[in-house]
């Protein structure tokens, strides 16, 4: 039996877990292209995330996110993809990630994540309440989705992006060795 072809590596997790920083480091070390999904959404729509939320609501943003995700996962070159925290909320996104990428869940406590995101400026989901309270609620809602999707889970509390990237890189090297 031929194993399924999953050329990409995707980082999932909540806000402030290090997906973008770690993804950029892993991609550079592995000589892969790094794609930050939120940046692709912005480029594809010509709108910032905040403007998308204001104009289209969260559902409209998720539509744009889904389109950008499909485009990124359709690339023939292997990439390292840093996703948005809510990308797994749609079954179609979970299926796309599962079929085209190996998924690494970066975890951090809500307190650590809140320290990393600061006052939440520019993050629409954090605008109406204290960041730690919102992050705690989102972590509780999303953890089962992350856990189900993840091929590997890594705690990032108290760790530098370089240290976490080392662990993700070792996982990627293991995957590449298994394919050879």
pTM above 0.85, yes or no: yes
pLDDT digits (tens, 9 = 90+) for 131-168: 888 888 888 999 999 999 999 999 999 999 999 999 99
What is the SS3 assignment for 139?
A: helix
Q: What angle do CA 95, 97, 170 make, to 5 degrees?
A: 140
- What's the pLDDT tens digit per position in 105-133? 999 998 898 888 766 666 666 666 678 88
Looking at residue 2, its pLDDT comes to: 32
Half-sphere CA count of 126, side-chain side, radius 13 A: 22
**C-alpha closest to that of 112 among 148, 162, 155, 145:** 155
In terms of DSSP H, where are the helices of 90-130?
Answer: 91-100, 110-117
Contact 131, 117 (CB under 8 A): yes
Q: Provide mean pLDDT across the span 12-18.
A: 92
pLDDT tens for residues 31-87? 999 999 999 999 999 999 889 989 999 999 999 999 999 999 999 999 999 999 899
DSSP 89: G
In the chain, what percentage of residues exceed pLDDT 70? 89
Distances (CA, A) of 174 to 57, 152, 168: 40, 12, 10
Given this model, what pLDDT does residue 1 score? Answer: 31
C-beta neighbour count of 10 within 10 angstroms: 31
Backbone angles phi, psi at 2, to 5 degrees: -85, 130
């Amino acid at each position: 039996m031929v194993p399924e072809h999953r050329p990409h590596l995707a980082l999932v997790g909540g806000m402030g877990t290090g997906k973008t920083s770690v993804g950029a480091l892993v991609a550079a070390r592995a000589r892969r292209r790094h794609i930050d999904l939120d940046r692709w959404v912005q480029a594809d729509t010509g709108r910032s995330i905040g403007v998308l939320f204001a104009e289209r609501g969260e559902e409209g943003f998720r539509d744009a996110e889904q389109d950008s995700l499909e485009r990124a996962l359709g690339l023939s070159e292997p990439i390292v993809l840093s996703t948005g925290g809510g990308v797994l909320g749609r079954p179609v996104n979970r299926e796309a990630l599962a079929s085209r990428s190996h998924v690494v869940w970066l975890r951090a406590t809500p307190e650590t994540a809140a320290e990393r995101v600061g006052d939440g400026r520019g993050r629409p989901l954090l605008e109406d309440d204290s960041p730690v309270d919102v992050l705690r609620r989102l972590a509780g809602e999303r953890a089962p989705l992350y856990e189900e999707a993840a091929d590997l889970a890594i705690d990032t509390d108290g760790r530098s992006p370089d240290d976490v990237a080392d662990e993700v890189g070792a996982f990627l090297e293991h995957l590449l060795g298994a394919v050879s």
